[in-house]
Structure 1
Amino acid sequence: MRRKFVKNLHDPKVFKINRLSAHSDHKYKGKNIEWKKDLNGIWEFSYCDSPNWSKIEVPGHIELQGYGKPQYVNTMYPWDGLETLEPGEVPKQFNPFGTYKKEFKVPKDWKKNPVYISFQGVESCIELYCNGEFVGYSEDSFTPSEFELTKYLKSDKNEILVKVYKWCSGSWLEDQDFWRFSGIFRDVYLYSTPEVHVKDMFLTSDLSSNFKKATLKNILKLQSLMSKKIDVLMEVWDNKELICNIVEKNIEIEDNLKIELIKKIDSPKLWSAEKPNLYLIKVILSDSNSGEVIEETEQKFGFRKFEIEDKIMKINGKRIVFKGVNRHEFNCDRGRAVTEEDMLWDIKFLKANNFNAVRTSHYPNQTRWYELCDEYGLYVIDEVNLETHGTWQILGQPCPEKVIPNNNPEWLENIIDRAKSMFEKDKNHPSIIIWSCGNESFGGENLYKMSEFLKSLDSTRVIHYEGVFWDRRYDKTSDMESRMYAKVYEIEKYLNETPEKPFVLCEYSHAMGNSNGGLHKYTELEEKYPMYQGGFIWDYIDQALRKKDPFGNDYLAFGGDFGDRPTDYNFCVNGLVYADRKVSPKVQEVKQLFSDYKIQVKDRYFVIDNQSLFTNVSEYDVKVKVLKNGVEKYSEILECDVKPLSKKEFKLAIPKMDESGEYTVEVSLNLKEDRFYANKGHEICFGQNIYVIKQEKSQELEEKPILINGGFNIGIKGKNFHLVFSKAYGGLISLKYSDKEFIEGVVLPNFWRAGTDNDRGNKMPFRYAQWKIASLYPKMVNVEVVEGKNYVEIISKYELPTNPVTDCIVSYRAFSDGKIDVGMEYIGVEGLSEMPLMGMSYKIPQEFSEIKWYGMGPEENYIDRVHGARLGIFETDVYKNLSQYVIPQECGNRIGIRWVEVKNKAGFGMKISGEIPFEFSGLPYTVSEIETAYHHYELPKSHCTALNINKVQMGIGGDDSWGAETHKEYLIPSNKNIIFRYTIQSNM
């Protein structure tokens, strides 16, 4: 049998043997019998041809339990460069397999009933034996493989044996951007059924044009072991209230009988992501003669209408805008063997941060995920387990000569079966509003036939497929124009050319490392173009695996860290949340931009623009706060009535503020009561207005600090401070307040940052490398000392080693009270690239690790990622400020800084302020230390605080991570003079 099985591995036409037909995932009960027996847990396991048996956990991946190693590749197939294979062939030199073994007893209550086994997910294929006899074979890693065991069973103990190969012909259809695992990674269970059983049900609803009336249709397929008459009762429940029912009596039952139940319902509560109203549909089968209940089936269901009308996608008659994310099933310890706890965390996070949609990239998910989306409200694009990226795109260029499935007839039945398996399992979930034919598999007739097949089964949803962008032969495969990583100008070009289909971005704003800059440019299209209907950020969670570093500590590993080759290294790490489900700073921006509510605060009023479809603002508290110089002075909670899809103006009845200072009026929307995803008071969104009441200038100091002009150094002393400037090394080398030293190295101009993933992807270091050299090796060509009436000023001029050479002037004007006005002027020159940043870097003693600032926060922000930040006073420490992007990179920046304090545990430190807001970051490592580390464990033991005080830093970009540059308006031109001024003083 093994020989036959190995032959099947190579044949794309053989993808199932004796596998049961796919069916709906409804629940059933009856006769006080437990019809399901869980087989999860510890199984016996043998790896490859080993004669020894050990233990393995199910569900779980073979490679994460001590056998083989995980491998990460993106587009290329995992055997690329190791063996030359044609589509359908599997590696001959290395194709490991695992053999699982489990003993079980059939429950006594099942003795007269059929017994089945369900494998909810096995990668990449399964060969099943029961008591030594071959039962069946199945491919498709992400939909259930079910088999009947009845005729193979013994009366007492039974043994099942499962052989799982790492690769089969179906692996050519599973070239998703993820870790390549194998094994039984989803639930396994036995189940039986009563003598009459609802094998399948398909619930649909049709809504009247005014959405006041619904027609519920339930198509049942019955399985029967005997001939008898039954009654079929369908009940519709709204919580604990029975709304209506319908009964069919004295039905002569036979196997595979189809029954259609139809019921009209008045004034149904509609389902949407905002209002996920669910009804419980019960189907009760009973004996017509005795009245005995044979089986009771339950399925939660939502009435909703999703359609494309006038070229616009609508939910219940309203234009929908997707504020979505692509979500891989992932856990940093368990891989794709995610738990219900993971899923609950995910859906709470998504709802709390204003997401309304998720794409199951790129395979059907566990049933429990769809149940949660139904219950808590997320729109779902459910995607067929199909991706053949490596057969048609090489190094980013289309080369479709060997693409599959294309028009190749030997792959057609295989991919149609995958679509059918997805559809049948998931069809009753109202959250699923779009079926997707897969991902990045080019185009062709087979995909068109899949699309037509899904349409023939289901008229209540529409079809998505992005690949037609690359191959227009069968453009009608997709009902919408879907693209990946299209630039804003490309989207506008499409929308301005009388398009035939609504537009969505199935992937955009690539969240790799420090990214998602410029996201607002996409969300701004939502109001400008009705046919632009949002998109799905790539992606939700970093696919990094927990591993021990060389020092025995846990870290999050990426491709290549397991010795896996070939690999695509850290390209698996693109999440808005880290792999351990800690939230990255990028979410701050997404949450604000994805809110359905936009708040504009003006001088004496504010405007709430309610862009939700079905929710009145009155369901939230509206909180008004007034802050003076970042400190709260007044607050109140209002109730505001703003109907969906409308805006309203409200007067601000706040006390008059006359004292000089900077005032912030903040208006926010907050939860009125606890919800499943967040507690009362959780903020949905906010708006701010900032104004200044100027103060009179303070009197000038009369006393002048002491100048000590030595041969090698220049010293300046004043009340409680001492400053030393080196003529030899060309910069500030000592700054003391209260005899505490704040400088550990020469302070020089800085124009460089540690490259982000986006920077490396678009070759910014290559284009801007001169600015790194300019930061490391400036040459001081002149130093001048100026004594003013009440100050001493040191002015130094530097030549920067750029081509052409340019100049930078730095000045320190010290006053007797310890204030130091710092000036930096860059002299613009033609012929140089833009610069990454412009500022100065201070290496200060490690004890000064606490940072507090008045500026934008709380999370890191940049000039192209600041919409989610607010003006306020915040504090953290340099260690927490080091964002945990898997490859260390630029992070921790804040813009709009009025002042920042760097202090020790006792609160003593240095304060830097500016009349014109500036930028800063405080980190436990220098730029050079960060950019030379490939993992966090490669960073040295922290020995200082690196304080970076910048006039401006270029944006971080994020349209994609492999070539898209930061938008032009967020770059720093080098052909113009730039002046930067700030003040240093003691914070006490």
Structure 2
Amino acid sequence: MQYTLNKENYRRFDVLEAGKRPARAYFIPYRDRAALCRETCLTERYRSDMVRVLSGEWDFKYYDKTALVPKDFDTERVQFDRVQVPSTWQRTGYREPVYLNSRYEFHLMPPELPEEMAVGVYRTTFSVEDLSKTYILSFLGVAPCLDVYLNGQTVGYTECAHNTAEFDLNPYVREGENELLCVVHRWCTGTYLECQDMFRETGIFRDVLLYELDETFLNDFEVRTKAAADGKYDLRVSAEIAGAAAGCTLEAELLDGDEALAKEEKPVFPKMQFDFAALCVQAWSAELPKTYTLLLTLKKDGQTLCVVRSKTGFKTVAIDGDVFKFNGVHIKFKGVNHHDSNPVTGYVMTAADIEKDLRLMKQYNVNAIRTSHYPPDPMLLSLADEMGFYVVDEADIETHGTGSVGPHKLYKPNLISHDPAWEPRYLDRVQRMYLRDRNHPCVTMWSLGNESGGYANQDACYRYLKEVCPEIPVHYEGVIRTKRKGYDVISEMYTDIAHVEKTRDGVRGSEYNGKPFFLCEYAHAMGVGPGSLEDYWQTFYSSDKLMGGCIWEWCDHAVHHEANDPKYKNEYTYGGDHGETLHDGNFCVDGLFYPDRTPHTGAREMKEVYRPLRARQADEKTYVFQNTNRFRASDYIDVRWELLENGVPASGGTVRTNVPPLGEQKLEFPVDTVRRDADVLLNMTYVDRESGEEVAHEQFVLNDVPNALPAGKSAPVSLEKDKARCVVTGEGFRVVFSRETGALESLFANGTERINTTPAGGVCGFVPNIYRAPIDNDAYAWTPKWNRKKLPLVKPVFVAMDAKEAGDCVQVQAKYKLVCGKLPWYTCEMTYSVYPGAVLAVSAKLKRTAFGGKDLPRFGVTVELPAAFCAVEYYGRGPYENMCDFNLQSPIGLYRSTVREMHENYLKPQDNGNHGGTKRVVLTDKNGVGLAVLGLPKFSFSVHDYTQALLCEAKHREDLRSQHTTFLSVDGFMRGAGSNACGPDALERYRFTFRDSIAFRFAVMPVDGGEAE
């Protein structure tokens, strides 16, 4: 079939759309009420007898340049490929993936576009039997624009990737087979409004629907609820009917399960309204997401033409001074930012993908979602209605590249948002979002987009929303840097806790007063971390003005490759891995979850911080439980408690809670008198009574006994010296120190060497260490500073050694300068006291010189042990990695693991697997022979089968090959994680800073089939 293709729409600024239907609510009609009611919100789209999902295999022709696309296009002469729709070009092999944060892909001069770009032509067919029907074609998502043709004729044009676009097909449709042709350009003028931090992908990425309706049909409807007296609600349903009205009626019925609460049937008019007053209903909230079923049934002569369902929730949202209230109660957003992201299909999210994400959010105690940075698939909102989430529904508007510095950016943040020529495009995106999503009870705030400066065009959008929907607050962070400051709430990103506290206290500036304060992005979850989540929430809970916030972001963005992929050796790739010259590296790998939705330790920390119950100790047996829920009592949560003595369970039980919303309850635990000669811990696990799933946990340290230096055998130790070595011997052991390097070269006990004498890193024994492989939260601020100081190049240079007998031990002291080039940055003293039984007490002291910095990543030692020592037992924080500013996910306990399992498998390798608060770690072979490290009093440790040097070099998981060693780091001090990849640095109390000198102590001893005490 022949077509004359329009080759101008995508680049003409005077063309926003052509032939497109007005926006309306998303819904799926059925002919049979019972059939509709059997379906869920995830299945109704795919099983309707009035909607055909055209998704599936389509013909596809890809062109590298617009000039190669013939204006006169004959589908019979084109050799098409076959592709799956929905999909994107970048995930089906037609273009390489491109990840950009804030830049455009081309030189920006809005609204101008590059002369040449790629084009994709899609073709499919569908059959029509009855031309008396009404046919509407609906695209739920196409990036970035679309020209639509049918049977050789032009149907229309649309842009705005994440808004629904619909077209009337009746003027073009014919009986029998119909050919649908869709043309997608790589960019369009609308691309200037879609400069989001994500992989930039192209194509039809959401479902394509064909509505087959009668001549008279329900075109649109709107549901409004309003609080009435005595806790009741009024309901207004407005409907728009298209087509002839003769003999037609519309019935509105509200159901609670099978019980009808209200029902009315009226003759059809083009505009209709139903009012149901003083309904006895339960209000909707994220904690108690009670929905009612609204059925709208269109009939003709008593016969059903179609029935439509809307899950309706009754709510009120209001701002009372500087307090955000939901159903009259101040609420907190325990939120996340959610992108559409699948590691294989990119933008394409199936119903199962969406459901998996929201179920994980519930499991991890999330109650709010910001749809960053565009409206989601409507199924997400329907599921949020039913499962219970407060949703910040965000318009598909971001002009970030106008407000940045660098290639394809310029620092004019208000360039587009202040230009009145762009106002219709802003309004179109906001209007279509609103009209599609307005019936969802989960929508708690509208958002005008992201990082687009402001504010003239945003003002127009705000006025529109306040006119059509005054009851829902409007959010937009981008005006915080303008004189507008905020709309209905003051919103910021990555504000540090000190400034949040100033905002709370009203001393930050008058512009921050008088409105609720919301962190639409905080706690950047890139790599290890984020740190200080609990510190943020202690602050959020301190004031009703503070709404909480949404962590950035839900999951890592990366491209997955099969193991046998001939092009890519890495399972996951990120920016720069695909041959692209313009990219932003691994900044997209910044989620709480890995791409496959395996949790990072950051997600586990979030689960604990977002917990609904919080406990504090009143006395030895009594604890006060606070319910942070606003609407739901805690009667669904049991507390399973366990008393541990030296890591071993001593007693336990289950206690039921029934704490009212925002209330407190005292509960007694039958805890016997706490032993004073043991470490005593009380673990509380909050369990969902019905499902048995863990909600969260808390731990209380009831007694903490410091380690004592182990008493060795009574046999004496002796010291021998020669020019090369100092040798300490005793019954069953021999310890050797090099007089040339100061290194502990050998620790031989009971017939087994306990350290690696051929280390992968080239240095034996305990090596002073002040550096770490940069974590992502170091990389964008501190790593450049450390690199300027040449901290990664600092090496210990041996200065002197002294060895002497000192009573019942031999004392060996090695002195080092930590230098880069010729400059001594620090000095370090390593003091070993060797006791009978090969017990070594080790002291490490670091002193700063005039050249050394005060803020370091860590101070500790590393040592390589035999690779056979791969079994790990430790008493400290676990089982997950932790640092001083994020450790709620890792209670103190006795844990067993392996060296390989201690690795946290980040896509971009970085320092990982740290375990703080450790009193001892024991590494052994399969026979229980090995080495123990005891804290005097505590330390942090990590252990891997690769060296820190290899970790510093690695760019991907696959780069971390085993080096056949056991690389142990023992640290007295470790800097916190913070969230400085995009947010604030670690708080001062979590930073490793010192003025002059600092020291820590630990002990090592051999173990031979038994536990080190």
- Distance of 1:163 and 1:696 partners within structure 2: 75
Matched residue type, 1:282: L
Asked if 1:730 corresponds to 2:730, the answer is no
Q: Is the contact between residue 712 and residue 835 of structure 2 (CA under 8 Å) also seen in structure 1?
A: no
Q: Please list the CA deviations of residues 467-492 of structure 1 after superposition, one character each: whole Å capped at 9, or x if unmatched.
A: 111222x456x211001112222233
- Distance of 2:413 and 2:494 partners within structure 1: 25
Asked if 1:147 corresponds to 2:147, the answer is no
Shift of 1:773: 6.0
Matched residue type, 1:362: H
- Distance of 1:838 and 1:402 partners within structure 2: 43
Q: Is the contact between residue 100 and residue 161 of structure 1 (CA under 8 Å) also seen in structure 2?
A: yes
Residue 838 of structure 2 aligns to a residue whose secondary structure is: coil
Q: Please list the CA deviations of residues 13-66 of structure 1 after superposition, one character each: whole Å capped at 9, or x if unmatched.
A: 312111111111123212698111121111111101484311111111012111
- Distance of 2:548 and 2:83 partners within structure 1: 43
The 3 A distance-change label for structure 1 pair 267 and 908 is: farther
Match of 1:54 in 2: 81
The 3 A distance-change label for structure 1 pair 218 and 582 is: same
Q: Please list the CA deviations of residues 344-363 of structure 1 after superposition, one character each: whole Å capped at 9, or x if unmatched.
A: 21111111111110100000
Please say which of residues 142-151 and 365-374 is displaced more in the overlay.
142-151
- Distance of 1:384 and 1:41 partners within structure 2: 28
Q: Please list the CA deviations of residues 859-889 of structure 1 after superposition, one character each: whole Å capped at 9, or x if unmatched.
A: 1111121233211122333333322222211
> Which residue of 864, 884, 893 maps to 2:885?
864
Q: Is the contact between residue 196 and residue 295 of structure 1 (CA under 8 Å) also seen in structure 2?
A: no
Match of 1:677 in 2: none
> Which residue of 267, 275, 287 maps to 2:280?
267
Shift of 1:613: 0.5
Asked if 1:178 corresponds to 2:205, the answer is no
Q: Please list the CA deviations of residues 361-403 of structure 1 after superposition, one character each: whole Å capped at 9, or x if unmatched.
A: 0000001111111111111000010001112332599966474
Match of 1:783 in 2: 801
Match of 1:485 in 2: 494
- Unpaired runs of 5+ in structure 1? 675-679
Q: How does 1:808-957 map to 2 (within 5 A)?
A: 808-829=828-849, 832-833=852-853, 834-957=855-978
Shift of 1:269: 1.1
Match of 1:390 in 2: 401
Q: Please list the CA deviations of residues 236-276 of structure 1 after superposition, one character each: whole Å capped at 9, or x if unmatched.
A: 1112222222232xx2x45xx11111112443111111111
Asked if 1:585 corresponds to 2:601, the answer is yes
- Distance of 2:983 and 2:137 partners within structure 1: 48
Q: Under a length normalisation based on structure 1, what TM-score does the superposition of the two structures give? A: 0.93
Q: How does 1:695-706 map to 2 (within 5 A)?
A: 701-706=713-718
Matched residue type, 2:239: L
The 3 A distance-change label for structure 1 pair 21 and 910 is: same
Q: Is the contact between residue 855 and residue 895 of structure 1 (CA under 8 Å) also seen in structure 2?
A: yes
- Distance of 1:230 and 1:296 partners within structure 2: 13
- Distance of 1:58 and 1:906 partners within structure 2: 57
Match of 1:961 in 2: 981
- Distance of 1:347 and 1:219 partners within structure 2: 30
Q: How does 1:670-749 map to 2 (within 5 A)?
A: 670-674=687-691, 680-692=692-704, 701-741=713-753, 742-743=755-756, 744=759, 745-747=763-765, 748-749=767-768
Q: Please list the CA deviations of residues 909-954 of structure 1 after superposition, one character each: whole Å capped at 9, or x if unmatched.
A: 2211123111000122211111112222333443222110011111
Matched residue type, 2:801: V
- Distance of 2:305 and 2:792 partners within structure 1: 80
- Distance of 1:96 and 1:586 partners within structure 2: 39
> Which residue of 94, 109, 123 maps to 1:86?
109
- Distance of 2:13 and 2:700 partners within structure 1: 59
> Which residue of 31, 40, 43 maps to 2:55?
40
Match of 1:525 in 2: 539
Shift of 1:845: 2.4
Q: Is the contact between residue 88 and residue 201 of structure 2 (CA under 8 Å) also seen in structure 1?
A: yes
Shift of 1:159: 0.9
- Distance of 2:994 and 2:309 partners within structure 1: 67
Asked if 1:280 corresponds to 2:281, the answer is no
> Which residue of 559, 581, 606 maps to 2:575?
559
- Distance of 1:511 and 1:209 partners within structure 2: 45
Shift of 1:537: 0.9
Please say which of residues 900-909 and 185-194 is displaced more in the overlay.
900-909
Residue 170 of structure 1 aligns to a residue whose secondary structure is: helix
Q: Is the contact between residue 126 and residue 137 of structure 1 (CA under 8 Å) also seen in structure 2?
A: yes
Matched residue type, 1:348: R
The 3 A distance-change label for structure 1 pair 147 and 700 is: closer
- Distance of 1:657 and 1:686 partners within structure 2: 18
Q: Is the contact between residue 402 and residue 409 of structure 2 (CA under 8 Å) also seen in structure 1?
A: no
Match of 1:427 in 2: 438
Matched residue type, 2:273: E
Matched residue type, 2:55: N
Q: Is the contact between residue 768 and residue 836 of structure 1 (CA under 8 Å) also seen in structure 2?
A: no
- Distance of 2:500 and 2:15 partners within structure 1: 42
Matched residue type, 1:844: L
Matched residue type, 2:305: I
Residue 454 of structure 2 aligns to a residue whose secondary structure is: coil
Residue 239 of structure 2 aligns to a residue whose secondary structure is: strand
Asked if 1:461 corresponds to 2:472, the answer is yes
The 3 A distance-change label for structure 1 pair 868 and 430 is: same
Match of 2:92 in 1: 65
- Distance of 1:385 and 1:542 partners within structure 2: 21
> Which residue of 79, 103, 124 maps to 2:125?
103
Match of 1:132 in 2: 152
Q: Is the contact between residue 321 and residue 515 of structure 2 (CA under 8 Å) also seen in structure 1?
A: no
Residue 587 of structure 1 aligns to a residue whose secondary structure is: helix
Residue 344 of structure 2 aligns to a residue whose secondary structure is: coil
Shift of 1:798: 1.8
The 3 A distance-change label for structure 1 pair 696 and 782 is: closer
Q: Is the contact between residue 509 and residue 537 of structure 1 (CA under 8 Å) also seen in structure 2?
A: yes
- Distance of 1:447 and 1:344 partners within structure 2: 32
Residue 432 of structure 2 aligns to a residue whose secondary structure is: helix
Q: How does 1:728-807 map to 2 (within 5 A)?
A: 728-741=740-753, 742-743=755-756, 744=759, 745-747=763-765, 748-767=767-786, 772=791, 776=795, 778-801=796-819, 805-807=825-827
- Unpaired runs of 5+ in structure 2? 36-47, 70-77
- Distance of 1:849 and 1:911 partners within structure 2: 13
Please say which of residues 816-825 and 490-499 is displaced more in the overlay.
490-499
Please say which of residues 561-570 and 592-601 is displaced more in the overlay.
592-601
Q: Is the contact between residue 256 and residue 292 of structure 2 (CA under 8 Å) also seen in structure 1?
A: yes
Asked if 1:203 corresponds to 2:214, the answer is no
